[in-house]
Structure 1
């Protein structure tokens, strides 16, 4: 028995975990997503490219108000012109806030909302652009949502449709493996979805979110036993981030076991 058998609400801390059909802890609780919400934007872009409505080679010129602190590279680079495909890769790989804002401006919040609804999201939504800092006059968060909706979405990224292959490829380039996969044996630079995975290892494609009081991770994990979609959303008070990281990593151990790993360290 692991900590995942206990309620996900630990005082002011909530850790929601979902693996469809296997784990459901507070999976319908609406929580702040931080950059994990960028998955909705990336999914709409991937579908637009696959369906021919968006040209990945279209150039988007950065505006001064696109630039944003926090995660990413474009805020400190001199280049002003980037393709839609470049912006998507930067958003997925290094969670680039400036690239996200430029891409979101090009696509539009309304189109992201419509596309997300078409993918089955009801309570998971992007509320605003990325802002550093976020003021009381702004929407309360970049994005909010539930672990259940996000895990079901991730489980559907099977690579059989062109847009899911494109999105999985972007997610596989994510450089942040510090949360769910952190304690699991995996190769972070293995970008291609595997035909098979050697025993004792997993393949991961994911998107993380990090903000004050937020640690979140949504993705696809493939092991020798099965292929699963997962979502772990941890919210708590400012200053509690280390505990949130520990909770997400413990959830990662249980998710790894479900994917077929054996002999993992005990959670407690």
Structure 2
């Protein structure tokens, strides 16, 4: 375990909080945790790779099947069209964490392909296990996705490289509408969804969050005077989620200071 002096003490929380801020600090970064919708980044990474390689056509229409529809986050269950392009579905998955869009994309790409792509990136313990299910019953896989803070922070760092399919993934993350967790501790414009090397003001954030009973997760990229990537994963008893969110925001405040002019820079620490 390595913990930078500026990071808050999270050992006494009513649950487990793991974080990885590459080059700056970490805590329980290799503990496998439920990812909730942060696991959708693994799927989106596969889709982005398919778009760039030409194996997938962003304009390919995909009809929604009854099995795709899921309660929880998203808009598609309330909209009338039943046919969307793969690019539309990817954007909905990233922006509003649409569960139905996720299930349709996962059906098109396949859990096995997502696992293979994650493995090729060196993500050994971060996996999508199943489609989104509301509710998830005893006979189903135990979670939609699991992973470690270190590995999902590394995935954010690939996106932060802003090259090839990583640039596509970063653009989708920039459109995420949920800035209530880590990002809430970072001074930024939540409506600035244009990928920027230098923010117009304050800091710039691209992220993906995950929410489930007893789970709050956030992974992202912050740009200011320098670039910092982060992943914060939590699990707790039902009803204690907001306590974990407050701690996530405390971690976010540190990330914001590191990305801004106040942090001490080093070439090795840049995300």
Tell me which interval the TM-score lies in, with the shorter structure as reference length. Answer: over 0.9
Give 1:20 deviation, angstroms. 0.9
How far residue 197 of structure 1 moved from its aligned partner, in angstroms, is 2.9
Q: 2: CA distance between counterparts of 1:88 and 1:118?
A: 21
**1:244 correspondence with 2:257:** no
Bigger mean CA deviation after superposition, 89-98 or 118-127: 118-127
Q: Which residue of 2 aligns with 1:117?
A: 119
Provide the C-alpha distance between the structure 2 equivalents of 1:60 and 1:250, rounded to a whole number of angstroms: 41
Question: RMSD value over aligned CA atoms?
Answer: 1.8
> Residue by residue, what CA displacement relative to the aligned partner does 1:227-255 show, whole Å, maximum 9, x if unpaired?
01110001111111110111111110011
Please say if 1:260 is aligned against 2:263: no
Q: Is the 8 A contact 1:88 1:99 kept in 2?
A: yes
Judge conservation of contact 1:27–1:148 (CA < 8 Å) in 2.
yes
Aligned to 2:159, which of 157, 160, 171?
157
CA–CA distance in structure 2, aligned partners of residues 31 and 72 of structure 1: 23
Q: 1:79 aligns with which of 78, 81, 84?
A: 81
| Deviation (angstroms), 1:160 | 4.1
Aligned length: 260
Scaled by the length of structure 2, the TM-score of the pair is 0.91
Tell me how far apart the structure 2 counterparts of residues 46 and 229 of structure 1 sit (CA, whole Å). 19
Q: Report the CA distance between 1:119 and its aligned residue.
A: 1.4
1:146 is matched with which residue? 148
Determine helix, strand or coil for the equivalent of 2:182. Answer: coil
TM-score under structure 1 normalisation?
0.92
Q: Structure 1's 260 and 176: CA in aligned 2 closer, same or farther, altered over 3 A?
A: same
Structure 2 CA distance, aligned partners of 1:108 and 1:259? 36
Task: Name the residue aligned to 1:40.
Answer: 42
Per-residue CA deviations over 1:79-118 (Å, capped at 9, x if unaligned) read 1100100000000000000000000000000011001111
Structure 1 unmatched runs, 5+? 264-268
| Secondary structure of the structure 2 residue equivalent to 1:144 | strand
Distance across 1 between alignment mates of 2:240 and 2:6: 18
Q: Which runs of 5+ in 2 are unaligned?
A: 264-271
The answer on 1:15 being equivalent to 2:17 is yes
Aligned residue for 2:266? none
Q: Do the aligned residues in 1 keep the contact of 2:129 with 2:146 (CA within 8 Å)?
A: yes
C-alpha contact (below 8 Å) 1:156/1:229 kept by paired residues: no
Aligned partner of 2:7 in structure 1 is: 4
Residues 158-212 of structure 1: CA deviation (Å, up to 9, x unaligned): 344221111111111100010111132211121222232367x110000000010
User: Moved runs in structure 1, 4+ residues, more than 4 A?
Assistant: none
Distance 2:160 2:208 in 1: 16
